[in-house]
Amino acid sequence: MSFEKLFSPIKLRELELKNRVVMSAMGTHESSESEDGKGVTDKLIAYHVARAKGGCGLNTVEVSSVDAASAPSGFLSIADDKYIPGFRRLNDAVHEAGGKTCLQLWQGGLAVASDQTVQILLPDDMPLSAEYTVPAITEERLYSVIDAFKAAAARAVEAGFDCLEFHCAHNYLPHSMLSGGLNHRTDDWGGSFENRKRFPLACIRAIREKMPEGMPLLMRIDCHDDMLDGGLTVDDVIEFCRDAKEAGVDVLNISRGNIVSAATVYEVAPVDIPKGFNVEDAARIRRETGMITMPCGRINTPEFAEQILEDGKADLVVMARAQLADPDFCNKAKDGRLGEIKYCIGCNQGCYDYFVTSLSNPAVKHITCMRNPALLEEKAAALKPGTKSKKVLIIGGGIAGIEAVLDLKKTGNEPVIYEKSGSLGGQFVLAGVAPGKRDFSYAAEKAVANVADQGIEVHLNTEAGPELIEEMKPDAVIISAGSVPIVPDIAGSNSESVIESHDLLSGREVQGQSAVVIGGGLVGFECAQYLASKGITVNILEMKSEVLTELGQLRQITANFALSEMPITVHKDTTCKAVETGRVVALQGEKEVSFEADIVVMAVGTKSAETAAFQDACQKLGIPAYVIGDAKKAPGMALDAIHDAYHAVLEINQ
């Protein structure tokens, strides 16, 4: 595909973008490393420059506080003139790299509570504890925030931004004042929809007043409210957007979500949420307002983006995490190098989960990405060729091994990979078997195809041993042998009805109406989803008091969504005692219980494969050896495995 629509220019007022791809604002927490925790850093500049060089049409710089008293640490601020030079440096660097910039103007409402030193501004009183209630924002303070948006816009213009974005979504103060599900005031700023529109429209007019006539103003807006009684409907949003257009907004960035309910899952939607879930609402809003519109939300392939534009459902497309995973996404897509793209899979491990952790753990400085270990380390951890080409043996063809061979080849080395099974991809492919997880197997398939395209030497159905190292005498060895399933000591565990989790997800035929999955971790849950999608009733037995503990907050929410929609029941504090014909016997405390089971799936966990012989052979020959992923620690996260592989390559190239 040529993606002619995606890579065609578009004009917004007097600003011309070279293509229709927009990187929307994403919190990085990198500003925490600045002098006061709220400024631009060299790493943030390098991060944006990399995406501009990678061909992005418009870089949106993350949420930037407009109001000093409510500006939290770890988030950018433009609430004072002292921040202008940092933003100017960023703009100059991005412009030199051929990019365009947008600044997202933000007042965070409840979201600033991560910093206990700043003010929380809310439409209504909110009890935080028995001792303290956050008082509703006063009318005087509302006017001061409007003035703060105006002053911030003037600073952003002075700093050299090409356009600005007003954030009116995600529970932040403008959205909270607009939504009847969040604003229950009885004064002139609440009650009727006309009253609730007053604050965000006043902010828009204030911003527009300080912008040059030819500079476009974008607005991030929720297409509707989820899980909020009395919240915004699509009809409400269309009416408000028409008013916003009259007040000076040019482009609508259609989003969704709030942080006071499970709808927070739609803000940084994980793999379990359907792709492009905002597209249809965005298309209707575009049609009924006549405004330039761009949807966000799980648009991670150029083919899908092109189709949205070709179908006339949007004018631009937000592809944000796609460019966290691969800063060269746009250039690769435009050039037709689709196999080389590292696709975002919506795992949320590095972006959202790291961001949340960074708010309370000083050791976590900024976000990262499973697919891109150099995220926000573009200079310090850039892949570079070594002083000479090295022959490197990779033992194990899971996703970490694949990433290692591709990075080695990219930097001028000669990698050789040995995989004992008949295909590459490992557990990444298996994860994609579960309903809604296709992005995992898709990313693995593309990476495997790229291995072939690059002409890398691959040996399948070949179990490497220490003698191979002695025979080959490579310059380095990466041991990514993975893990093996733990076999529990349960009576009847070798009966015909029992199947190991990896065998099930590899496509082994199963028959029956009922199943028991022993183990409530991620793999057990994926097995349960896979079986339930075939109409099989599933009971998950977990001996601990919690399940899915390895998942972050948002994927736990989507897991609960799935549990409510599929014939799956979770039994915590339940220990399997025996597998018998047609049933599983278990203990819940002192009580013996049984569950019907035509199929029993063992998913109790894994342990690292034996690697001592490989390491001994390397030590004997003086060959550097790197044990990565599950072979180092099992069970592990895919993010850690890929990061292990990346850093092994960095060391090999030194």
pLDDT in tens, 191-239: 999 999 999 999 999 999 999 999 999 999 999 999 999 999 999 999 9
Global pTM reads 0.96
ω into 212 cis (within 30 of 0): no
Residue 622: C-alpha distances to residues 270, 469, 477, 631 (Å): 44, 11, 11, 21
Q: By C-alpha distance, which of 251, 264, 237, 231 is closest to 294?
A: 251
- From the number of C-beta atoms within 10 Å of its C-beta (0-12, 13-18, 19+), residue 511 rates as exposed
**Taking the domains of the chain in order of start, what are their residue ranges?**
10-358, 391-485+607-652, 498-604
- Span 391-485+607-652 CATH architecture: 3-Layer(aba) Sandwich (3.40)
∠551-556-561 over CA atoms, to 5°? 150
Angle between helix 42-53 and helix 84-96 axes, rounded to 10 deg? 30
Assess whether the region 10-358 and the region 391-485+607-652 belong to the same CATH fold: no
Q: Are strands 599-602 and 514-518 parallel, antiparallel or unpaired?
A: parallel
Closest alpha carbon to 47 in 2, 93, 3, 83: 93
Per the structure block, which two tokens stand in for 213?
């006539």
**pLDDT recorded at residue 358:** 96
Q: Candidates 3.40.50.300, 3.40.50.1980, 3.50.50.60, 2.30.110.10; correct CATH number of 498-604?
A: 3.50.50.60
Do the strands 76-77 and 101-106 form a parallel or antiparallel pair, or are they unpaired?
Answer: unpaired
Strand order in the sheet with 625-627: 457-459, 414-418, 391-395, 476-479, 625-627
Pairing of strands 583-588, 575-580: antiparallel
Please, are residues 451 and 423 in contact by the beta-carbon 8 Å criterion? no
Q: Which CATH number fits domain 10-358: 3.40.50.620, 3.20.20.70, 3.40.1000.10, 1.10.10.2120?
A: 3.20.20.70
- What pLDDT, on the 0 to 100 scale, is given for residue 129? 86
Instruction: Report, as residue numbers or ranges, the catalytic residues.
Output: 172
Mean pLDDT in consecutive groups of 10 residues from the start of the chain, 654 residues: 94 98 98 97 98 98 98 98 98 98 98 96 93 95 98 99 98 98 97 98 98 98 98 98 98 97 97 97 98 98 98 98 98 97 97 96 96 97 96 97 98 98 92 89 95 97 96 97 92 94 92 96 94 96 93 94 93 97 96 97 95 97 98 94 98 96
Residue 286 phi, psi dihedral angles, 5° rounding: -60, -45
The Cα–Cα gap between 542 and 598 comes to: 19
Its sign, for the CA torsion 304, 305, 310, 315, is: positive
Percent of the chain past pLDDT 70, that is, above it, reads: 100
pLDDT of residue 431: 87
- In this predicted model, what pLDDT tens digit does every residue of 575-611 receive, in sequence order? 999 999 999 999 999 999 999 999 999 999 999 999 9
The predicted pLDDT at position 436 comes to 87
Name the one residue in this structure whose structure tokens are 């298996």.
430
At residue 86, the pLDDT reads 98
pLDDT tens digits for 509-531? 899 999 999 999 999 999 999 99
The 8-class DSSP code of residue 20 comes to S
Amino acid, single-letter form, for residue 484:
V
pLDDT at 205: 98
Question: Which run of H or E residues covers position 625?
Answer: strand 625-627
